[in-house]
Chain A
Amino acid sequence: MKPVRFDYKRPATIDEACGLLVSDDNARILAGGQSLIPMLSMRLSRPSLLVDIAHIPELTSLVETETHIEIGAMVRQANARASAMVKVHLPLLFKALAFVGHPPTRARGTIGGSIAHADPSAEIALVAATLGAEIVYRVGGADEIFDASSFFIGPMLTLAPPAGCLTKLCFTKAPAICGTGFHEVAPRKSDYALASAAAQINAEVGLGVTGIYLGVGSVGDFPEPLDVDGLIGTSLDDAVIGDVVHAAMEAVETVEDLHASAAYRKRVATELAIRALRDARDEISKDLNQ
């Protein structure tokens, strides 16, 4: 379990990193290393150049704008979880981060690394896809923006531009009245999930529910947002949620492996999606009924 020989560079700026990526077709970015280093050791990944972006200051910033929270690609998962900004304005991400790996891996693993790696069971990718976050890449000196809801196209496959460097993730801030739910199931605590579900319901006093977001992960080749707009304007009671989720899940393709059958993944993702929506509903019902 020794990696193949590779060069290692530690750029100080994003543009320097992009230059290195352009210079070598077989370069790879090293962020927190929680997935890449084991893949290197097992020779599943064989880059000729590792571009370590841990020392680029702009990538570690967490910024609040009027409408968004912008999370630098190198922000450690543990720091994001500990951030008051994330807790207040991105409650769904805050919930999901507790399910990412273990405390030691969250201390090293990064928000951007998880997005770029695109494991189908990744919690951060599921939240980003569910909420349609903006994924910002620097490529050829300019920013290129991707919609997270269509960014993931297969296991470890994304629309990421060649020689691009993921710089940040932009989430729309949750409104004052917002309910969220996140569930996942794994054989052991913090294993790769067999099924996961994320839900967020936005509401405004007077208008009621203004947006409902639901996504499932770990069951197919990539995290999948589900269209549950049909729930807006309904009672959101258990029966309605159940019907809409069952209908939305019908088209979802699930995979089978040693740990779970495809039928299991579908059955459980459906159940978790229902539970996540119910959690979200229960969180806002108090605010809406005031």
Chain B
Amino acid sequence: MSEPKYKFLSTPRRPVEDRRFVAGRGKYVADLERPDMLHVAPLASHHAAAVINSIDGSKALAMPGVIDVITGDELAGAVQPLMNGLNTPNVRRFPLAVGRVRYAGEWVCAVVAESRAIAEDALENIIVDATPQPFVLDAEQALLDSSTPVHPEHGSNLLLDRKFVWGPVDEDFAAAAHSLSFSVTWGRNSTVPIETFGVIAEWNGWDQMLDIWASIQMPKYADQIARSLGLPGNAIRVHYDVDVGGSYGVKRGIKHSVLVGYVARKLGRAVRLIEDRLENMRAGDAHGPERKFDVAVAFDDDGTVRAMKMRALDNAGAYAGRAPFQLGKPISAIVGPYKINSVAYHALSVTTNKTVQEAVRGFGQAPTNYAIETAMDRVAEYLGMDRLALRQHNLIRADQFPYLIPSGSHYDSGDYHAVIDKVLAAADYPAMLAERDRLRADGMMAGIGIAACLEPSGGNSSFEPLLNESNKTSTWMESCQVNVDALGCVTARIHTTSSGQGHETLVSTILGEVLQINPELIRITRPNSLESLPGNSPVGSRMAIMLGGAAARAGEKLKAKIMAIAAHHLAVDVDQLRYESGDVIAPDGRSLVWDDMIELAHRQYHSLPDGMDPGLASFDIMQVPTGEALPADGKVQMYPCYAFEFHLVLVSFDPIIGRPDIHSYFIGHDCGTVINPAIVSGMTYGGIAHGIGAALFEEFAYDANGQLLTQSFLDYLMPSSHEVPAINIVKHCTPSPHTVFGQKGSGESGYLGSPAAVSGAINDAVAGLGIHFEKLPIRMSAISDAIAAKSS
């Protein structure tokens, strides 16, 4: 047996964080008490659109325990609008509605009271006089000149309208033997964490400091609050030592935070706002993409897909924010894992009178993958070709990396065919086909779903300058600090909250690997934002690459200093020395052991090399690999790393009942070098469950009056352990050349392909009837109704 490559990396180490979470000892925002804390409850709009004529809070204010009633007009005079990612200055967004409400559930005003219960009682005594206005819910309708703009000042509902042509699309379509087109729609869903968003803000006038504890996963959170409140950046102190009970993108809470920040400053008290489930669902401003795709593909008799035209129309909801950028990130992998020569991409984002959209796991990649994989299934169907063979024919080959796709990104590495072969072997594909046929013979509808897709990872924000030329952001760093104290113990600081990604495990494992110290002995702390180096938080599947990278580089800097001290102490050239588990050993056997090294660094300045600073500390601020340049000609190298996943799933259902039963689920997963296997597997299991929800159950659905129908878990159905089958993960490792250990991202794994795979399986089951399901989620009643319509 060969020597293991790593001592701690890729070993089955138990995640550090699990201990406190499993024991119920996590520390969440709702666990925190501040002295004299006040509570906020927002009043939800009943109307999808209305002009606010007046708000009378006098009766509420007269109730015992009620401190204040805050309106949008008051806020608009005191704070700056929330950040807007696009050049749409007249799409202004404040924490509370100003002058008009733009979706049902939007916060009209807010009560501040001694308890949340009192605040909710007071809400019932606020009299709002509002005049209902025309509204628009459907994205295609919103595009029409005849529709009422959600923001009349903006003049239309169009937020983003960008056309890209990468490569000879027209020529490829003309030269191809065939073409086909179709439309599919990704329903509005999200990640819906167990813990809703919560924030506490506390103003200290003597220090001129706003302290904030929040359930946050957001880049530049403190900066945005400071800008909106008109405070210096160093007057906001965000405490990162708060556990976050789930997020996957949506825990932004910027409007909540600006609201309580304003109130805390106004009243000089600690103020808390924790969403209840209704507020989270209808007005947390955390819905995910709702996207209609019109796709055309050109292909040859042998199945070669030459070119693709994609129009993607996203329903952003009532305000802009960063949501339209979710049309930009998929440009990073716009051809999926396939050798498609040219692409035309038309990205459209519109406002509607629905809840505001926020970043969700994959930042738009999962919907796009669903459209691409549907195209592959349609081409196979058109040609009468096997769906698997078609994919294998079009996949980029292992010897073609780095592979430049038409939109300007190089895929770093991969061996897609090898992963698929492994999955087919593990799943016993011929037996799976036989099982499908057996189910069909028994009178069931049965189908196999196939999906191959990529997880762009190591996120930066290249999509911002790509979609908004006035934005010149190319920097998207992450940082880590390491200190070895006078007793020789290692402590690392990370500068963000975690929402279940296991960053403490990540950093301690990597530092342990670099320094060859048991990771269990390495302490990880999360200081507040004022004590932090710059970072961009866990978004874009980046932390294994970026925080892991910064930790490794900081560790290497520390090690270099250790080696320099040892070289001086042992009077040996540094190249001659060997580092082993904290000790430095000379060729002649003499050594400087860890404890003696600490003694030198911390207490014996006279023994250090000339000019060397005392102590043992280092830090690293790392830029995203390959993220050097701004876009040119509508092209950009976006993310540095591309993880691959391949889904194979067998589904069956009774033709009358229509309830899909997932018999077996296999996923081949290649995210390069795995740092902690349990964390990567956990991400993948959860991602697949999330994707099953998107495919079959979850939707923020509105009625014709613009009222959200799915405001609680009564109607917003997430898959439970009963609906998610056993998942078999088939692992493969193609290291990335761009990262310290060859790791790629895995935070979005599973979710990026499972909706496409489950949809593909259901469509395979009904293919014989000539049925295509073209919208997610595919509800059981829709399945049964479609079959009944064909039978009658």
Question: A residues bordering B, Cβ < 8 Å?
Answer: 1-2, 4-5, 42-43, 185, 187-192, 194, 258-261, 263-264, 267-268, 271
Contact = CB atoms under 8 A, between A and B. Distances in A.
Interface stretch (B346-354, B510-518, B609-617, B709-717): B709-717
B788 A267 contact: yes
B788 A263 contact: yes
Contacts, number: 62
B646 interface: no
Nearest to A271: B656
B710 A268 contact: no
A188 B723 contact: yes
Contacts of B723: 188-189
Chain B, interface size: which category? Answer: 20 to 34
A182 to B, nearest CB: 15
B657 A1 contact: no
A47 B71 CA distance: 31
B785 A263 contact: yes
A271 B657 contact: yes
Interface in B711-731: 712, 714-715, 717, 719-720, 722-723
A268 B657 contact: yes
Given A2-B116, A187-B697, A260-B779, A268 B277 contact: no
Contact of B784 (A2, A4, A267): A267
Contacts of A260: 779-781
A99 B276 CA distance: 29
B68 interface: no
Given A194-B780, A258-B709, 12 more contacts: A1-B277, A1-B278, A42-B278, A185-B657, A187-B717, A188-B697, A188-B722, A190-B722, A258-B701, A259-B779, A264-B784, A271-B657
Interface string B740-764: 0000000000000000000000000
B177 interface: no
22 contacts: A1-B276, A1-B277, A42-B278, A43-B120, A187-B696, A187-B697, A187-B779, A187-B780, A188-B717, A189-B723, A191-B717, A258-B709, A258-B710, A258-B715, A259-B715, A259-B779, A260-B779, A264-B781, A267-B788, A268-B656, A268-B657, A268-B784
A43 B719 CA distance: 27
Contact of B781 (A42, A188, A261, A271): A261
A189 B720 contact: yes
A1 B116 CA distance: 9
A82 to B, nearest CB: 22
Nearest to A183: B657
Given A4-B121, A189-B720, A194 B276 contact: no
B659 interface: yes
Contacts of A271: 656-657
Contact of A188 (B277, B710, B719): B719
Contacts of A267: 656, 784, 788
Instruction: Return the 6 tightest CB-CB contacts between A and B, nearest first.
Output: A260-B781, A189-B722, A264-B781, A1-B276, A2-B117, A2-B120
User: Interface of chain A, helix or strand or loop or mixed?
Assistant: loop
B659 A187 contact: yes
Q: Most A CB atoms within 10 A — which of B656, B717, B719?
A: B656
A268 B787 CA distance: 13
Contacts of B659: 185, 187
A261 to B, nearest CB: 5
Nearest to A256: B781
Contacts of A185: 657, 659, 780
Interface string B530-565: 000000000000000000000000000000000000
A113 B730 CA distance: 48
Nearest to B715: A258
Interface in B777-791: 779-781, 784-785, 788
Contacts of B714: 192
B134 to A, nearest CB: 24
Nearest to A265: B781
A243 B277 CA distance: 47
A192 B717 CA distance: 11
Contacts of A2: 116-117, 120-121
Nearest to A270: B656
A263 to B, nearest CB: 6
Nearest to A189: B722
A259 B659 CA distance: 12
A197 to B, nearest CB: 12
Interface string B615-654: 0000000000000000000000000000000000000000
Contact of A264 (B701, B709, B712, B785): B785
A190 to B, nearest CB: 8
Nearest to A4: B121
A55 to B, nearest CB: 26
Contacts of B278: 1, 42
Nearest to A260: B781
Contact of A259 (B120, B712, B781, B788): B781
Given A1-B278, A258-B710, A188 B720 contact: yes
A2 B714 CA distance: 18
A188 B715 CA distance: 11
Nearest to B783: A264
Nearest to A3: B117
Contacts of B701: 258
A249 B651 CA distance: 31
A1 B281 CA distance: 13
B730 to A, nearest CB: 28
B121 A5 contact: yes
A271 B658 CA distance: 12
Contacts of B121: 2, 4-5
A258 B658 CA distance: 16
Contacts of B719: 188
A189 B617 CA distance: 55
A161 B712 CA distance: 32
B131 to A, nearest CB: 26
A192 B714 CA distance: 9
A192 B116 CA distance: 31
Q: Most B CB atoms within 10 A — which of A194, A258, A260?
A: A258
Contacts of A190: 722
A260 B710 CA distance: 14
B123 to A, nearest CB: 10
Nearest to A264: B781
Contacts of B657: 185, 268, 271
Nearest to B279: A1
A187 B785 CA distance: 15
A139 to B, nearest CB: 32
Contacts of B658: 264
Contacts of B785: 261, 263-264
A173 B701 CA distance: 46
Contacts of B712: 42
Contacts of B788: 263, 267
Contacts of A4: 121
Contacts of A43: 120
A267 B788 CA distance: 9
Contacts of B784: 264, 267-268
Contacts of A268: 656-657, 784
A5 B121 CA distance: 8
A189 B661 CA distance: 11
A185 B784 CA distance: 12
A263 B789 CA distance: 11
Contacts of B722: 188-190
Interface in B135-158: none
Interface string B241-266: 00000000000000000000000000
A42 B656 CA distance: 36
A270 to B, nearest CB: 9
A107 B788 CA distance: 39
Interface in B99-141: 116-117, 120-121
Interface string B657-694: 11100000000000000000000000000000000000
A1 B658 CA distance: 35
Contacts of A263: 785, 788
